[in-house]
Structure 1
């Protein structure tokens, strides 16, 4: 045990237990065998490496920090290798270094990394339960291209006020003029018909927002108790995700990047609906309009009123024209009658004369 004290003291830098080395030049001079006698240079170096455990710690730590990424796999990779590295560091502190502080800190960091691994594995398992085939399709089509992590998507579909609901065939999602606008829904599967006054406007298929136009219309109107301008009915059995407006706005306010992405997707969905409506909806003069948005509703009413005024003015212009054309017809009748009458009554005398 006493033979190991100089080595331990050398490792920890304890000068009181350090052995002395006799100089070959002057036997009377003794130089303490220490590391780091000054801040500028080390006077004496170890004769060998600290050991294989310390080398394993350094290699594992280097490999752990070489990993990159923002998903759960990258996090598991980093934390598992860090836990192994600091476990070797704790063993090296017990066997070779004999330093209590090294052992304690290594064990603390090891436990933290193990806890992170367990937490990530638990969250990943919860994520796998949510990601069925439909959810995976929505994530791959709408969120993965923008590098939104699976965990962020899970937070969006599991936040407060978010529900996964079903709608049977023939049932209404919203009734025209009755259902208040207080939610946003994304169709997961099925097909939905949008109509007004028993006229079909368009259809909604999977991976499309059901009421994106109404969601955008609330930004244009001051009335927070607006109702749907259309009737939305399920053509088939449908499944959809719905968010309550209040809680969704709170979540998007905290997640700035997610909020910009969701607003972009809603705006794009509205543009697609307008495009489909404009290709099918015309009035009697060929004007295209969308009856779902309030501003365009007012434009449609203005167009109808303007066309009505034009019709009334056109009828007013036709009445004097008809009166002006009627004398011409009557005046032409006497002028044309003499030839007609001369042909019938006067034709007899020439015939009679010729006979004579």
Structure 2
């Protein structure tokens, strides 16, 4: 069994004898990743474990600075990046299968990184940190430099991904917001430009902007003068007037759970309320897809599906919820239907395809399934 360590540190020794790791055992609490067509990897304590799904051979890579934090893989370059969990954490990038360290990335983060994501082309790595910075950073990992960064105080993000067709686009989503970040470049200067997606209401409808700006009860007779915006009635001017809304003026919006990109640079968004959204990657126009109901003995299970994971497949997406089933959503125009599903018996936490799309990895809290097409 092979073990990778940083070059500047040798193996532990006691009385002149060298010690090496024989094996590491543990089930992943984080998402499992593919590093190539037939090898998966995941963090386990102070190690990253690599498993060849064909030969079952296991390889371990040790983090010299303690527990492994978050990780990501770059399949075209066959590299893996992970952070450590210590004060002022670092990001390490190792090559596979040689397990040699390519670089070490040092930023100004105080406590912890929460997300890492490689671009599908080029040598770009995006990182997101927790409090106090809540910082999104774009790295050129090969040069070990930060190209640009942006802080979002108080903004937790639970998923971050590059557009597979355009490395200049990033999607960040949380249970309350979805935003698309464009990486703009002039010569060697890079900067982020963020645009927020206007989510529909909880019932899937879109609210009228006029209802937000003006009072809900408009007088029928305007003899007493024009109808004033709420901000004018409150006596506000400037930027406060543009964003003012009364405290009791609440419009509950949909709560995104997961997103995935399509080959046309659009986004599919699964929502806690059971809705499936399609977002145009350029205009950010939101379309609520209509579910085509079909009479089926399994209809009671399909009436309400709150996607926890989404992966793109030809003609639609695969989705899973907390009910222990994997559903196939066939999407056509602005509608979709549920064609079939796979019973897993436990809530599915993560799904991902192998790079050649021949293996679907389904991860639960107890076991990983391999579905071979």
TM-score, normalised to structure 1, is 0.19
TM-score, normalised to structure 2, is 0.19
Higher helix share: 1
Bigger-Rg structure (1/2):
1
